Amino acid sequence: MKDYNFFEEYQSKKGINIDPKSPAFLGALVLLLCVALSIGLVVRNMVLTNQIATINQEIATIQASEKYIKASQLELSVNSMAQYDESAQKAMKTFTDNNVIGTEFMKTLTSKLPATVTISTFTLDNASANFTFSVPNKKAVAELLLSLKSSGLFQYVELSTISTDETNKSNASIIATLKAGEAK
């Protein structure tokens, strides 16, 4: 004969009985993983924030140093010079492409000047050139006019004014028109 225990069912439920296949267990496990992942991400974010703050302090210290300031100024100067070089090359290319004025023109012009005459200013507007020359006397001005006319660079050469300053140095202003297509 077999002995039946009618309370067996109730006595076994006193302890915790975990069924890994139950939906409640799986839901609790997923919830526990989400909480652990969130805590891990918060900790990682705090660590990264501290590292960024430390690196920013180091950068601020470096940027405040005298060497960094000098290097920054030097870099700015180098960049400015590079921009100047680029602009100068563009201007030179424009002069060369347009055949307005170049080294041959300047060599020819300076070779035709009398020895006692120097160019003070030179402006060019299209084909019209305005010169101011430093001259010792009126005879040098006459030689200068003849030299410019015989240079072959100009169609028209005219003396505009002769002036004398406080130091008895004379300046001659000359207006000239370039020959078309011959200025190099």
Token pair belonging to 144 = 């200068």
> What tokens does 16 get?
């915790």
CB atoms within 10 A of CB 86: 10
Residue with tokens 């430093």: 134
Q: How far apart are CA 180 and CA 99, in angstroms?
A: 10
Residue 184 has pLDDT above 50, yes or no: no
Q: Which amino acid is at 46?
A: M
First to last CA, the chain: 132
Q: Which amino acid is at 54?
A: T
| Cross-strand partners of 176 | 129, 157
pTM, two decimal places: 0.44
Tell me the average pLDDT of the chain: 84
Which tens digit of pLDDT belongs to each residue from 25-54? 889 999 999 999 999 999 999 999 999 999
| Residue that the structure tokens 């969130």 belong to | 38
Half-sphere exposure of 72 (CA within 13 A, CB side): 8
Q: How crowded is residue 92: how many other Cβ atoms within 10 Å of its Cβ? A: 11
* pLDDT exceeds cutoff 50 at 88: yes
Residue 11's pLDDT band (cuts 50, 70, 90): low
Which domains, and CATH codes, for the chain? 99-178 (3.30.1360.100)
Contact 178, 127 (CB under 8 A): yes
Provide Rg for the chain, Cα atoms: 46
Higher pLDDT, 82 or 107: 82
CB 115 within 8 A of CB 71: no
Closest C-alpha to 135, from 165, 158, 105 = 165
177 close to 153: Cβ distance less than 8 angstroms = no
For 45, the 3-state DSSP assignment is helix
